[in-house]
């Protein structure tokens, strides 16, 4: 089923063999409620509790491809959710720092990932303020719909680094920022997607 999913992603124009191989290695069914296990390898989003969804495999693959990973990068992920995207990033050979603002999801994923052999640094907190302690990051990926691009994420990115973030309220335009200097960013935009919103305040203390 995973092999079939990889072929679907290839037919939808995911081109990176490394990304396709990473998706092919992650057992997606482990990240879903057992009632959805049968559907794990369809290209669909599913509920993961607390009104959140695991992203479509295509979206995960597309965002991962936009990160242009070579392995060894330090990646900050906003929106840990089920941990599926985290696992794909780890399969790409990166070091992952991931933030989730829903306490229930944070705890569930924190216990699930190591059981599957996936070691990432996870934090319960607010993605709008990033994770200063381990900055700067080579890459930052936001997996919730952001109404705007948070300044903290721009400043926690290394020069030469890449930020991938879906920007917008009802629909989000997939946006890539390449950091040229402390104040200078090159921007690229792609298709529109629909993410759950990146929410403010809840975890802010």
Q: Which residues are marked as active site? A: 55
Minimum separation from the CB atom of position 163 to ligand SAH (A):
15
Measured from the CB atom, is 67 or 78 closer to ligand SAH? 78
Q: Tell me the β-bridge partners of 124.
A: 100
Minimum separation from the CB atom of position 184 to ligand SAH (A):
26
Vertex 6 angle, CA 26 and 97, to 5°: 40
Give the interface with ligand SAH as residue ranges (CB under 6 A).
52-55, 78-79, 81-82, 84-85, 99-102, 105, 126-128, 143-144, 196, 198-199
Minimum separation from the CB atom of position 156 to ligand SAH (A):
14
Measured from the CB atom, is 167 or 198 closer to ligand SAH? 198
Measured from the CB atom, is 16 or 63 closer to ligand SAH? 63
- How, if at all, do strands 137-142 and 157-167 pair? parallel
Measured from the CB atom, is 68 or 202 closer to ligand SAH? 202
Minimum separation from the CB atom of position 39 to ligand SAH (A):
14
Token duo for residue 91: 């399969």
- How, if at all, do strands 95-100 and 121-124 pair? parallel
């Amino acid at each position: 089923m995973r092999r079939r999913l990889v072929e679907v992603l290839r037919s939808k124009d995911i081109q990176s063999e490394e990304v396709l191989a990473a998706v092919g290695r992650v057992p997606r069914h482990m990240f879903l409620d057992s009632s959805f296990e049968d559907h794990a390898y369809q290209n669909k989003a599913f509920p993961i509790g607390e009104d959140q969804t695991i992203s479509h495999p295509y979206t995960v693959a597309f965002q991962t491809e936009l990160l242009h990973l070579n392995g060894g990068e330090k990646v900050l992920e906003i929106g840990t959710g089920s941990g599926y995207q985290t696992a794909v990033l780890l399969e790409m050979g990166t070091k992952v720092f991931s933030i989730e603002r829903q306490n229930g999801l944070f705890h569930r994923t924190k216990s699930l990932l190591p059981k599957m052999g996936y070691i990432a640094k996870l934090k319960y907190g607010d993605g709008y303020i990033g994770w200063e302690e381990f900055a700067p990051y080579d890459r930052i990926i936001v997996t919730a719909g952001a109404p705007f691009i948070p300044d903290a994420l721009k400043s926690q990115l290394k020069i030469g680094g890449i930020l991938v973030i879906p920007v917008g309220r009802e629909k989000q335009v997939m946006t890539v920022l390449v950091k040229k200097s402390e104040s200078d960013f090159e921007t690229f935009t792609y298709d529109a997607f629909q993410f759950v919103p990146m929410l403010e305040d809840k975890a802010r203390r």
